[in-house]
Structure 1
Amino acid sequence: MTVDRTDALDCGICFLPLKPPIFQCDVGHVVCSPCRDKLAAAGGRCHVCRDPTGFRRCHAMEQLVDAIRAACPHAGHGCAARPAYHDRERHAGECAHAPLRCPGDACGFVGPAPALAEHAAAAHGWRTCAAEAIAGASFRVDLRDGFNLITAARGGAAYLFLLNVATTPFGRAVSVVRLVPQAPAWRSTKCELQVYYVRLKDFYREHYYQTSRFEVADMDPASDELQDPSASFQFLVPKCVSGYDEADFCVNVVITIKLASSS
C-alpha cells in the first residue's frame, strides 16, 4: 500500500504530521491538539468551514495515522525500524544507525558507526576496539595518547565512544564523549573507568585500585568542538601507577546505555 498525498496526514493549520490526540469539527475537518487549543482560545470556530460548535476527538483518524508506517531514513545504514509516519522525524533524529561525521581535524568522512570506526583506524591510525555493552560487565582497553575509539554494541545498534588521552604534569588524563549525529535527550549513557593491579615489590604485595563513574556527554562532531582532555577530563591515571610511562596503558571500561521509552 502506498500513500500518494502525505499532506492528507498533516494538520491543516500548522502542516505538521497529525498525531494523537486528533480533533475534528462537526463537518469533519481535522486539526492537531496544539492547533485545536489555539482555535478554542480564539472562539472555537473551525478554520475551514467556520463551524462554531467546537471540536471533538477523532479516534478513527488517530488509529489511521498510527497504522501508517514508514521506513527509517537511515534504513540504508542498517536500521530496520518502521516508525509511524508522524513519528518518523523524531525517530530519525535519535536513530543509532544515523551516519556520523569523523571528529578528525579537517576530515570530511561521514558514515555509520562501524564504517567510521574502520575509517578512524585506517585513515588516522587511532586505537579502536569493539565490545558488547552489557550492564555491569567490564572489558579491557589498551589506551594510548590521542584518540581511542570504542564501538559498544547494544540491542543490534552500535554506539561510538571517543576516549581522548593526554599527558599532564600529574598523569594521563582521559576524557570520554559519545559521538552522535545530534544530542538526543531520550538516552542516557554512563561510563566507569577502572585501573587496578597487584604486584610483588621488595617482598611485599602492592595493591592499587582506582575507579571513576560518570555520565557521558553527547557530542556532534559536525557542530561541537572537542574539549582539551588536559583541561577537562573524567579520569586521571597518576604517575605512580605501574605502567603509566608506557606507550599503552590498560583500563577496564564499563558502559551502561539506558534506552528510555519515547513519549
Structure 2
Amino acid sequence: MTILSRRNDGGGNSHRSSTKRQRLPSVSTDDSSSGQEEENEKTLVVLSDDSDSDEDMTLQSSKRRIISSPKSVTLPNSNVLFDCPNCFDPLKKPIFQCNNGHLACFLCCIKLKKRCSFCKLPIGDVRCRAMEKVIKAGLVSCSNSMYGCKESTTYGNKLLSHEKVCVFAPCSCPVKDCNYIGSYKDLNSHFRGAHKQSPGEIMSLVLKRSIIFGLDLDDSDNNIVIFQEEKEGDVFVVQGFTASHGVYVTVSHIAPMVPGVRRFSCSVAKLKQYSTLRLGLRVKNIQKSREQEEQPEDDFMLIPSFMLSSDHLKMQISIGIEDAYVHI
C-alpha cells in the first residue's frame, strides 16, 4: 500500500488513471488553519490490482511528476492483528472477501464451502488484493526485540521458526527477590555487576575444577546454590528437592536451549565419611530456575535417604564443556 500526498493546484482530473484510488480526509490539529490546509492538501491511498508489474512502475513514475511530499501512515494501535476472522491464523495470500467485505483465508473458504460465516453470501471467488498488499507490506518484529533481537519478517510468517532458535530469549535472574529479565548474555553481565558482592549467594566457578558446596535442605532459601563461571560469566544453579525417598539434585545453566549457546556437562558427587555417590550428567539449559514445588522429571541426581545424615547436604561439583562428564 503506497501512501502519497498531492497538492491541489487546480489541475482538475488530468492525472486520472486506471489505478484504484480512495480519498481520505486530512486531519489538522490547528482549527484556525484547518480549512485552508484541507483545501490545499489531500492524502491518497493508491492501490493497484497487480503488484510489481511494468505498467505499475510506469504509472508510479508518471505520478511522481504531479504528486509530491510522500507521507507514511502508521496504525494508532500497534497491537492490531491481521488474522483470519474464522480460524484466527495470520492472513496469507490469497485473501478473499464476500460482497459485504467480510474476509476469509483460502483454507476457510474451502471449509465454509464458499459461504461467508457472517452473512452467508458467496465467498471465495473475489480476491481482496488491497488486504493482500497490506499484509505483504507489514513487518513483525521478533517477540524478543525488547531484549535485543533485530529479526523481523512479514506478518503472515509470524517468525515462528526464528523464535524457536532465538538467542535473545528472555532469562530470569535466579537470585531471590531479583526481578531482572534479559537475554542470557545480558543476564551474565547483570550478575557481574549486581550480585558480585553477594557473600554466600554466588560462588565463583572455574571449568573442570572441582568445588565443594553445601545445600541446607531444611531451609527453602538455602537449598539453592548459584555459580558464575569466571571467564565467560555463564550462570549455573544447583537446587535440592526433598522427597519421601531421598533428595533430587539438579544442575542447570540459565540460558535458552538454542543453537549458538554453549552446552555443558557436570560431575556431581554426594560426599560421606566412608562412601561417595557420583553421577555424570548433561547440564540442562533453562530460562528460569525451578520452583521448589516442581519435582524434576529428568536430568537429576537422586540421593537416597540412607545417605543423608543431616539436613545439610555436602556435595562436590565439576562442570565442563559439552559431554566431558556425561560418561563418568
Highest Rg: 1 or 2? 2
Higher relative contact order (CA closer than 8 Å, sequence separation 6+): 1
TM-score, normalising length from structure 1?
A: 0.50
TM-score, normalising length from structure 2?
A: 0.42
Q: Greater strand percent: which structure?
A: 1
